[in-house]
Structure formats: C-alpha cells, structure tokens
C-alpha cells in the first residue's frame, strides 16, 4: 500500500512540473491558434506512453510497446531540460538581472532560439550515446596469477536490453568484446531492463553465446533484473550461458576467485564476510557488485578488485553531479588499501538514448599478478 502511495505522490509532482513546463511553452510560443492546439495535444500525448508501456506493455505487440517506451522515456529527459531552462529563465526574469520578458512572451525569436537549443542538446546527446568509449586500466595485485601475462578482463554493466535497446546494438557490443580477446567477461548487473518478453522474442540469448572467452562470462544481478519476473530473467541468463553468481564465489582454473553479490536492494543479501570466509585469501579475489555501496566492505574482506555499475554516472548533465552526493564514488577508479575498484558508467542506458556530459563505455582490465610483475621486471 505504501508503494502505491509513494508512486501517487511522485506522479502528482511529475504532473505538476509538466503543467509548469507546458504553460511556459504556451506563453513563449507565438499566439497562433493551430500551434497552441498542437502544443496542448502533444503535451497530453507525451504523458501517456511511458506509463502505458510499463503497466500494459507486455500485453501489446512488442514493436508498439518499444515505440511507446522510447517516446515516453525520451520525453522524461526532454522535460528535465525544459524544466531546468525555464527555471533558470524565470529566475533571471523575476530578479530583473536582464530584461528577457520580450523573448518569453509570444516571441518567434525566443521560440526559435529555444527550439534550436533543445534540439542541439538532444542531437548531440544521441550521437554521443552511440560512441562507446573503451576504457583500459591496469590493476596490480601482490598475489600470484598462473599466467605470466596476467588476466585480461572485459567488464560491462547496465545493458538494459528490452523495449528500448534491442538485438542490433547487442550484436555490436559482442563484436567489441570479442575484439579484445578476453580471458573472462564480467557483467555488473542490469542486463535486462525490466521485462524479458522482447529479449526472448529476439532470441538475444543466442547473441550472448557468441562471446568468446577462455573462462566464461560471469555476472551479479542488478536491481532491474528484479523489476520484471526474476525467474524468467534468470532463465534467459542461463540460456545465454551467463554464470550468475548470487552471493557466491567460484574458483577459476585453481587460480583466482570471482565473487558475485546479490543486489544491494535485496534485504536477504549476505554480508561479504560470509561469502569470502572460506576462500583462500592467497589467491586473487575479484568481486562483482552492481551498486557501489559500502565500498570499504571489499577492503575489509580481502577483495583485490571490485567492479560495479548502476550509477550510469548520472547519464545526463547535471545528474552526474547529483550522483556525487548519492555515492561515495559514482564513477571511475579508486583504491582503499590493497583493494582497487572501478565503477563503470555502463554500456547501455536507461530510457531515451541520450548521453549528455557522460559516456557509455566498456572496460578492459589487465589484472597483473605477482608472478607477472616479476617477469616484467626481469
């Protein structure tokens, strides 16, 4: 009951802010009746697709739901920028810092500048989303690894496959991964956006099977895997030959451990100390944890390297700065004692395909063990 109440409050706030944005657009646009009617009709239409796709999408044809989902989530991002710009302009107008009143009321000039500005932000953001950034880091550990060349890891996160991101993008991502010739692939959660229907229909599990590695693909669940039917989502991941680690550890080639944690949102999630208690701490321990919460826990339990995702680094400006208030480390490399971390911004995206002030990425990690270090010195 409480969740429905919270949702109702959020929806009413969102609706109220939409009314503010639309009213400001109405006042700014030239006083031409057909344009005003078009604005009002469009304003009503864009409120519906996201909620329709979320609540009734699985009962509709996938292509229709995908269109609704993309329109609805894109509007949320467009709305955010409209809101920020109008709040900024209203502060200037009310404080009389600059006389902009004539550009804010029935102005072709103001409307034109405003339209070009918003369009430019969205076009640049969309282009930026499709440019996947390759991030390469070297992680040294004092523990030995069997291979003299160390361990090559490709880490990805937050694919959000579903009604927004489909098979063609996934196929491109698999090509990027295979080009690295990784020893192992680690996925830090949120492979599935919400629902498994579209990814089963496109048989995307077959695409995952094309990933070529020496030791396999390992994953920790994210919060989005639990939004839909968790059992269906787990079935998809199993068919995709992805080894899902749920508060468990696996020893690879008698050489190193991979630990996968349940998502931080799960109340039954085990403490990391329980998971690592019986591990041989003389071997490197790699941890996958979707949300970068309580980072010190990895250091306290002998983890050598942890990879996380979830944050998207805010995805769009200025949310990346808000992330800095929410997380100890919302993005990038950090170190605590002997434990090293990388929080990735993710390969995919949630909702509308815009990256503004951030980048989508995959991470290439060269894990160098004690033996590798000694060989390099020689």
d(CA 78, CA 21): 11
pLDDT the model gives residue 110? 87
> Going by DSSP bridges, is the β-strand pair 332-336/285-288 parallel, antiparallel, or unpaired?
unpaired
Same domain, 82 and 154: no
Provide the number of structural domains found in the chain.
2
pLDDT the model gives residue 377? 40
pLDDT the model gives residue 3? 62
Q: For residues 320-357, b (16+ Cβ closer than 10 Å) or e, as one string?
A: beebeeebebbbeeeebeebbbbbbbbbbbbbbbbbbe
Retrieve residue 32's tokens: 């031409």
Angle at 243 between CA 238 and CA 249, to 5 degrees: 145
CATH of the domain at 298: 3.60.21
Same domain, 23 and 51: yes
C-beta separation of 363 from 135 below 8 A? yes
pLDDT the model gives residue 373? 52
pLDDT the model gives residue 4? 67
Q: Which residue is associated with the tokens 């790699």?
A: 286
Decide if pLDDT at 378 tops 50.
no
Confidence band (pLDDT; 50, 70, 90) for 5? confident
Same domain, 169 and 290: yes
> Going by DSSP bridges, is the β-strand pair 339-343/332-336 parallel, antiparallel, or unpaired?
antiparallel
d(CA 281, CA 284): 7
DSSP secondary structure of 253-304? TTTEEEEE---TT-TTPPPHHHHHTTS-TTS-EEEE-SS---THHHHHTT-S
Same domain, 121 and 152: no
DSSP secondary structure of 40-71? HHHHHHHHSHHHHHHHHGGGS-HHHHHHHHHH
Angle at 289 between CA 135 and CA 178, to 5 degrees: 40
Decide if pLDDT at 372 tops 60.
no
Cis peptide before 334 (omega within 30 of 0): no
The DSSP element (H or E) to which 171 belongs, if any, is helix 167-179
Same domain, 226 and 113: no
Same domain, 81 and 22: yes
Which of 100, 129, 158 terminates a domain? The answer is 129
Same domain, 117 and 177: no
pLDDT the model gives residue 376? 47
pTM assigned to the model: 0.92
Which of 112, 129, 146 terminates a domain? The answer is 129
Which of 129, 161, 180 terminates a domain? The answer is 129
Same domain, 102 and 147: no
Percent of the chain with pLDDT strictly greater than 70: 97
Nearest to 288 by CA among 245, 329, 252: 245
Same domain, 122 and 212: no
DSSP secondary structure of 105-124? SS-HHHHHHHHHHHHHHHHH
Cα–Cα distances (Å) from 147 to 144, 202, 285, in that order, read 9, 38, 16
Same domain, 307 and 341: yes
Domain extent at residue 331: 133-377
Interval 31-46: pLDDT, tens: 899 988 999 999 888 8
Same domain, 137 and 125: no
Same domain, 209 and 291: yes
C-beta separation of 367 from 153 below 8 A? yes
Decide if pLDDT at 1 tops 70.
no
Nearest to 160 by CA among 209, 136, 193: 193
């Amino acid at each position: 009951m409480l969740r429905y109440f919270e949702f109702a409050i959020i929806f009413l706030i969102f609706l109220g802010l939409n009314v503010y944005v639309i009213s400001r657009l109405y006042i700014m646009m030239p006083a031409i009746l057909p344009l005003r009617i078009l604005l009002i009709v469009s304003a009503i239409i864009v409120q519906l697709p996201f909620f329709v796709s979320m609540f009734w999408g699985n009962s509709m044809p996938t292509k229709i739901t995908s269109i609704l989902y993309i329109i609805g989530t894109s509007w949320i991002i467009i709305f955010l920028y409209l809101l920020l710009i109008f709040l900024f302009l209203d502060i200037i107008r009310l404080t009389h810092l600059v006389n902009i009143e004539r550009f804010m009321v029935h102005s072709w000039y103001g409307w034109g500048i405003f339209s070009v500005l918003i369009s430019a932000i969205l076009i640049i953001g969309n282009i930026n989303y499709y440019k996947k950034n390759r991030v390469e880091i070297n992680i040294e550990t004092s523990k030995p690894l069997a291979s003299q060349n160390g361990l090559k890891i490709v880490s990805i996160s937050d694919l959000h496959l579903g009604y927004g991101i489909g098979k063609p993008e996934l196929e491109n991502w698999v090509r990027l991964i295979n080009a690295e010739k990784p020893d192992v692939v680690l996925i830090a959660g949120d492979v599935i956006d919400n629902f498994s229907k579209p990814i089963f229909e496109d048989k995307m599990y077959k695409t995952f099977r094309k990933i070529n590695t020496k030791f396999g693909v390992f994953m920790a669940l994210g919060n989005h895997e639990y939004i839909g039917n968790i059992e269906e989502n787990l079935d998809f991941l199993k068919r995709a030959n992805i080894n899902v680690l749920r508060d468990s550890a696996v020893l690879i080639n008698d050489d190193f451990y991979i630990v996968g944690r349940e998502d931080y949102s799960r109340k039954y999630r085990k403490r990391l100390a329980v998971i690592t208690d019986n591990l041989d701490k003389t071997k490197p321990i790699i941890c996958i944890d979707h949300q970068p919460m309580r980072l010190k826990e990895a250091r306290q339990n002998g983890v050598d390297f942890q990879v996380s995702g979830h944050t998207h680094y805010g995805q769009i400006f200025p949310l990346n700065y808000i992330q800095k208030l929410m997380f100890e480390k919302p993005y990038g490399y950090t170190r605590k004692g002997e434990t090293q971390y990388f929080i990735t911004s993710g390969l995919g995206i949630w909702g509308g395909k815009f990256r503004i002030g951030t980048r989508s990425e995959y991470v290439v990690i060269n894990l160098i063990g004690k033996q590798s270090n000694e060989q390099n010195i020689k």
